[in-house]
């Protein structure tokens, strides 16, 4: 310790996992996100947060159950929240489950983290759609997983590519631990899996004994068309699918409440790995009151109108302002549009130029583990108002034109 700097001395003590993961974000002020146009993150709209209703739900929950809202809540979740969630899943998602199938987590993020802990040793194979959710990309790196990426088209994951990957794995004598996907308004592309595609994927996975990890964070935010059955609902039995969801997009991310619905054996082992002494009873009682009172259903209706409108504004702006050679997806729900740049441009250069003008965008490369995505950008229309969306697309269009010009010269 005296022979090295404190910093180096500590680094030498880190675990393999810490070294694989590297340092994370440190002191950040969320309020800074209001100072830029944030097409980069998947932030809910601040003005649509149910602040008054949450204040009222807190008052009621503390009055009725204060002693339990401020006490430890060990196990798989506060029963009041588990039961209202089970009702919501039955009513909205068409998912039939019982208390033994549910673990309430600190956002869907913790659910995904626990599932990686429970299934993935370094070198283990997991299969993922690509591009895929940043948080899961991060977990793949941290876990040391051998990731097999399957490309997406407008109807979901490419079934032929999945089948050949599954056959390759069989030939290699390797068992994939799970297939990760976001079937509704996918993050980052915004696409939604068709019913036929879901059936085909589920059957393939069943035949190869690979569970599906279904991350359905955006299910409730469908702007048009009918809901598509979940993988969990399509499965013969709960062992085949682990279904993750969250209240972050429909109530508030600051609550940090999500869930996983799965086979009781999975739930019990995730609970064993969840060593944070329980998901917060305080937020759980507040959200149980908010959700159970019916306020949630009404609030989701409002959110759909807000986000549908913002999607329409951004699509119209892109149509009007982006140069030829750009193409993008048209999501039927959720937060995201996936943009493909004209040939010769790199998303990192475009992002750097945009940041200088106060616009943050999602860098395509970050949504793959393979270095693909150089020509892609993720645009979130969820956080900014009409005027900011217009200004943001102005900046983006100008930057793309400038970089096209300099690319041509």
163 lines the binding site for its own copies (CB under 8 A): no
> To the nearest whole angstrom, how small is the minimum distance from the Cβ of residue 46 to its own copies?
4
- Among the listed ranges 84-92, 238-246, 349-357, 386-394, the one in contact with its own copies (CB under 8 A) is 238-246
Listed residue (140, 149, 133, 163) closest to 244, CA to CA: 133
Q: Which is nearer to its own copies, 152 or 270 (CB)?
A: 270
Strands, E assignment, 257-399: 258-261, 327-328, 336-340, 359-360, 362-363, 376-380
Q: Which is nearer to its own copies, 24 or 294 (CB)?
A: 24
Q: Which of 291, 340, 331, 329 is nearest to 88 (CA)?
A: 291
Q: Which of 94, 123, 272, 344 binds its own copies (CB under 8 A)?
A: 272
Distances (CA, A) of 374 to 138, 161, 370: 18, 21, 11
Nearer to its own copies, 61 or 152 (CB): 61
DSSP assignment, residue 229? P
* Binding status of residue 202 toward its own copies by CB under 8 A: no
Residue 320 binds its own copies (CB under 8 A): no
Query: Which residues in 94-182 belong to E strands, given as ranges?
Result: 102-105, 125-130, 146-153, 156-157, 179-181
Span 6-25, contacts to its own copies by CB under 8 A: 6-7, 9-11, 13-18, 21-25
Q: Look up residue 327 and give its DSSP letter.
A: E
Which of 139, 148, 198, 311 is the binder for its own copies (CB under 8 A)? 139
Per-position b or e across 347-365, b if 16+ CB within 10 A of its CB = beebbebbeeeebbbbbbb
Find the binder of its own copies among 88, 148, 177, 310 (CB under 8 A): 177
- Which phi and psi (to 5°) does residue 313 adopt? -60, -45
Interacting span for its own copies (CB under 8 A) from 132-140, 156-164, 289-297, 358-366 = 132-140
Sole residue written with tokens 């993961």: 21
Instruction: Find the shortest distance in angstroms from Cβ 34 to its own copies.
Output: 9
Residue 226, interface with its own copies (CB under 8 A)? no
| Cβ distance to its own copies smaller for residue 52 or 406 | 52
Handedness of CA 385, 24, 181, 302 (dihedral sign): negative
CB of 182 to its own copies, least distance (A): 15
Q: Looking at beta carbons only, is 113 or 364 nearer to its own copies? A: 113
* 384 scored as a contact of its own copies (CB under 8 A): no
Q: What track of x and - describes contact with its own copies for positions 45 through 84 (by CB under 8 A)?
A: -xx-xxx--xx--xx--xx--xxxxxxxxxxxxxx--x--
CA 322 to chain centre: 27
């Amino acid at each position: 310790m005296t022979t090295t700097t404190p910093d180096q001395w500590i680094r030498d003590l880190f675990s393999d996992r810490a070294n694989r993961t590297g340092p994370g974000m440190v002191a950040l002020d969320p309020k800074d996100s209001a100072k830029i146009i944030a097409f980069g993150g998947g932030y809910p709209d601040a003005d649509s947060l149910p602040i008054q209703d949450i204040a009222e739900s807190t008052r009621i929950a503390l009055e009725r159950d204060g002693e339990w809202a401020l006490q430890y809540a060990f196990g798989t979740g506060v029963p009041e929240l588990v039961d209202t969630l089970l009702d919501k899943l039955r009513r909205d998602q068409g998912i039939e489950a019982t208390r033994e199938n549910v673990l309430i987590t600190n956002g869907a993020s913790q659910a995904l983290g626990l599932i990686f802990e429970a299934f993935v040793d370094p070198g283990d194979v997991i299969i993922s759609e690509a591009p895929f959710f940043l948080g899961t990309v991060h977990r793949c790196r941290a876990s040391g997983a051998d990731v097999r990426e399957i490309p997406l088209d407008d109807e979901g994951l490419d079934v032929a590519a999945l089948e050949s990957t599954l056959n390759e794995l069989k030939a290699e004598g390797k068992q994939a631990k799970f297939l990760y996907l976001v079937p509704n308004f996918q993050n980052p592309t915004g696409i939604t899996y068709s019913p036929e595609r879901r059936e085909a994927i589920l059957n393939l996975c069943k035949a190869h004994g690979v569970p599906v990890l279904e991350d359905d964070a955006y299910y409730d935010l469908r702007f048009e068309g009918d809901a598509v059955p979940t993988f969990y609902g399509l499965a013969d039995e709960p062992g085949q699918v682990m279904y993750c969801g969250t209240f972050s997009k429909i109530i508030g991310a600051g609550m940090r409440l999500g869930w996983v619905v799965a086979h009781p054996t999975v739930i019990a082992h995730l609970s064993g790995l969840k060593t944070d002494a329980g998901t917060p009873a305080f937020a759980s009682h507040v959200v149980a009151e908010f959700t159970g009172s019916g306020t949630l259903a009404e609030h989701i209706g409002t959110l759909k109108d807000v986000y549908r409108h913002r999607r329409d504004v951004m699509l119209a702006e892109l149509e009007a302002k982006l140069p030829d050679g750009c193409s993008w997806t048209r999501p039927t729900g959720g937060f995201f549009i996936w943009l493909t740049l004209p040939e010769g441009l790199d998303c990192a250069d475009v992002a750097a130029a945009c940041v200088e003008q106060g616009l943050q965008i999602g860098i395509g490369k970050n949504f793959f583990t393979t270095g693909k995505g150089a020509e892609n950008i993720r645009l979130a229309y969820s956080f900014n108002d009409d005027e900011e969306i217009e200004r943001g697309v102005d900046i983006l269009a100008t930057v793309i034109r400038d970089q096209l010009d300099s690319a041509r010269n």
